[in-house]
């Protein structure tokens, strides 16, 4: 099954996307649907008879309000090498806020002082059942399904300090979708092509079978320290080919179109808008730190 | 005014804490109260006549469900030096999840494989109005008030990689409270004593006037990349004296009592419980990364 969250009349609505029809579900979004233990049955029965919706859906992030969005960096061997990083013994994790997410066809706008906007095509796992200190097998069984993400990163702000949060959390800069494909229909461990294109040029060409820590390993590790809930989203990292690794580094410009194409899931199409705006706000340190 | 969130009959309730009485407010918690533009008037009028509540309140985190919790590391000169860090040009920020927070008198329990549990006494600012790309002055005006936090950190997991998230996000390990003191009644810039005690021994003795980036600077910087909403919480960092900086490093043990005492706000009293439990979950990397 393919599940989505559609924008309808100023609100959102969970939908099942079938081959030639779109069926609305009685839930505000896919996250709310997944909160019901019988979400699979609910969605399957809806497919049987409910009325269609227009095919040209305006899609929201497939889970628009997850309680947790956890992201992994340095998780493909090729990308680890291109960023000059050591071999990881543990997954490198950071968090995003729910409102960092945006829809699969939405324009992403960043201010011109957010220099170095870069693409990161990713496979994302969506949690379908509560997880707390889960084994690998428990974690694997709790994955509701798979979707695609573009972890668009503002490299200058990511590098302000050793902690990446600012460059990874500009509002509405992480396209997520277009749909969730349920875990019974897709196996990233067997290898799905993960491609990123900028204005049609292929810049990343990965394979989800090459993840260092696969989704089950990530969910098990994450659930060791923090409980995961249905609808939570885990971004599994990006393959080689980011702009920051080019010589000289390359970044996205106003008017660019970035596409993340995940085999079996679909395409995120993101027009980039660089907004010219003065930044009033950089008060700097309130105190000088003595050099000692 | 002093605002709190009390646990009552399995739910929570926002309250105003007056000198000799506690007045319930018609909101589930302080975060929900702050979502109303006239929150100050609402709380002040309630003080006039409503019935009292028992004085021995069971307090929840003062804001139990913030949409964003942003934390700053390396923000006191003394702590920067003891951790051997360079002088920061930008604040070092990371996020916590809402359910990482816990009440001001709650027991904090961590598993015994979470080695190196350490204290971090902090001043926290609570946002009282929406903020987006705010100037320093706008940010300062949007601070609803001040509270205390203990950013209890699992040093071993904090150091698994360069990103601190795991060690900073064990569930229910960040006491927040006991109350919010509104900004009109307290000025951390003028200097408030911030003390941490372990079993009565003073281990940290800081002064909030020594913050490198004060709360207005932090909120302005944060709001440059992500919008802040009423009830959001910003932890401003910890002064010198953490256990990790001692030689040899010191950490909390089962049965310890940690107290964070913020002048003008109150005391967080946190009994520590180290739980003996097997960790089934450490699947490790799914793939070997070739050394090249």
**pLDDT for the residue numbered A21:** 84
A88 → chain B, closest CA residue: B161
Instruction: Tell how strand A143-150 and strand A121-127 pair up.
Output: antiparallel
**pLDDT for the residue numbered A51:** 63
Q: Can you say how many angstroms the Cα of residue B3 is from the centroid of all Cα atoms in its chain?
A: 15
Nearest-Cα distance to chain B for A291, in Å, is 8
- Interchain proximity A98–B221, CB inside 8 Å: no
CA–CA separation, A292 vs B58, rounded Å?
A: 45
Nearest to B289 among A87, A100, A166 (CB): A87
CA–CA separation, A118 vs A177, rounded Å?
A: 19
**pLDDT for the residue numbered B279:** 76
Residue A61, both tokens: 């992030």
pLDDT digits (tens, 9 = 90+) for A223-233: 999 999 999 99
Any bridge partners for residue B273, and if so which? B109
In chain B, which among 170-199 make CB contacts under 8 A with chain A? 170-171
- For domain B69-275, give the CATH superfamily: Fumarylacetoacetase-like, C-terminal domain (3.90.850.10)
In chain B, which among 132-161 make CB contacts under 8 A with chain A? 133-136, 139, 154, 157, 160-161
- Interchain proximity B77–A223, CB inside 8 Å: no
Computed on alpha carbons and rounded to an integer, the radius of gyration of chain B in Å comes to 19
pLDDT band at A290 (very low <50, low <70, confident <90, very high): very low
On the question of pLDDT at A280 being above 70, the answer is no
The Cα-based distances of A270 to A121, A149, A173, A249 in angstroms read 12, 11, 10, 21
Please, what is the average pLDDT of chain A? 93
CB pairs under 8 A between A and B: 194
**Which chain B residues are closer than 8 Å to A285 by Cβ?**
88-89, 212-213, 217
- Mean pLDDT of all residues in A258-287: 85
On the question of pLDDT at A292 being above 80, the answer is no
Probe site for chain B from A108, A139, A283, A291 (most B CB atoms < 10 A): A283
Complex ipTM? 0.94
pLDDT digits (tens, 9 = 90+) for A5-35: 999 999 999 999 988 789 999 999 999 999 9
Nearest-Cα distance to chain B for A52, in Å, is 35
pLDDT digits (tens, 9 = 90+) for B227-241: 999 999 999 999 999
Peptide bond into A248 cis (omega under 30): yes
Residue span(s) of chain B under CATH 3.90.850.10 come to: 69-275
**pLDDT for the residue numbered B50:** 61
Give the residue among A223, A234, A258 at the shortest CA–CA distance from A146: A234
On the question of pLDDT at A57 being above 50, the answer is yes
**pLDDT for the residue numbered B218:** 98
Greater confidence, B43 or A84?
Answer: B43
**pLDDT for the residue numbered A278:** 77
Nearest-Cα distance to chain A for B52, in Å, is 35
Contact B78/A at CB under 8 A: no
CA–CA separation, B50 vs A290, rounded Å?
A: 51
A80 → chain B, closest CA residue: B289
- Interchain proximity A289–B225, CB inside 8 Å: no
Q: How far apart are the first and last CA of chain B?
A: 61
Nearest to B292 among A81, A221, A285 (CB): A81
CA–CA separation, B41 vs A107, rounded Å?
A: 40
CA–CA separation, A176 vs A239, rounded Å?
A: 17
CA–CA separation, B170 vs B189, rounded Å?
A: 31
pLDDT band at A284 (very low <50, low <70, confident <90, very high): low
Contact B280/A at CB under 8 A: yes
- Interchain proximity B285–A92, CB inside 8 Å: no
**3 state DSSP class of B96:** strand
**Ranges of chain B whose pLDDT falls below 50:** 289-292
**Which chain B residues are closer than 8 Å to A217 by Cβ?**
283-286
Nearest to A90 among B73, B161, B211 (CB): B161
In chain B, which among 217-256 make CB contacts under 8 A with chain A? 217, 220-227
pLDDT digits (tens, 9 = 90+) for A176-191: 999 999 999 999 999 9
CA–CA separation, B143 vs B123, rounded Å?
A: 13
The Cα-based distances of A288 to B76, B190, B219 in angstroms read 10, 16, 19
């Amino acid at each position: 099954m393919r599940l989505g969250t559609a924008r309808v009349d100023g609100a959102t609505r969970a939908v099942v996307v079938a081959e030639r029809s779109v069926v609305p579900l009685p839930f505000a979004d896919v996250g709310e649907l997944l909160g019901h233990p019988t979400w699979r049955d609910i969605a399957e029965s809806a497919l049987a008879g409910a009325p269609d919706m227009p095919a040209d859906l305006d899609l929201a992030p497939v889970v628009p309000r997850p309680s947790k969005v956890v992201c992994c960096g340095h998780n493909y061997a090729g990308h680890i090498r291109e960023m000059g990083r050591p071999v990881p013994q543990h997954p490198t994790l950071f968090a995003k806020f729910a409102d960092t997410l945006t829809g699969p066809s939405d324009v992403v706008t960043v201010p011109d002082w957010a220099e170095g906007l870069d693409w990161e095509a990713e496979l994302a796992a969506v949690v379908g059942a509560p997880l707390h200190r889960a084994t690998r097998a428990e974690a694997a069984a709790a994955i509701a399904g798979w979707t695609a993400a573009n972890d668009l990163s503002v490299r200058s702000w990511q590098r302000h300090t050793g902690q990446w949060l600012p460059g990874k959390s500009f509002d509405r800069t992480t396209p997520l979708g277009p749909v969730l494909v349920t875990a019974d229909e897709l196996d990233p461990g067997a290898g799905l092509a993960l491609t990123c294109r900028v204005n049609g040029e292929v810049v990343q060409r990965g394979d989800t079978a090459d993840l260092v820590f696969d989704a089950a390993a990530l969910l098990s590790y994450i659930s060791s320290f923090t409980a995961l809930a249905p609808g939570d989203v885990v971004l599994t990292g990006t393959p080689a080919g980011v702009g920051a690794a080019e010589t000289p580094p390359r970044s996205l410009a106003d008017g660019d179109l970035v596409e993340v194409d995940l085999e079996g899931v679909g395409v995120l199409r993101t027009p980039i808008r660089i907004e010219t705006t003065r930044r009033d706000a950089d008060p700097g340190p309130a105190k000088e730190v003595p050099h000692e």
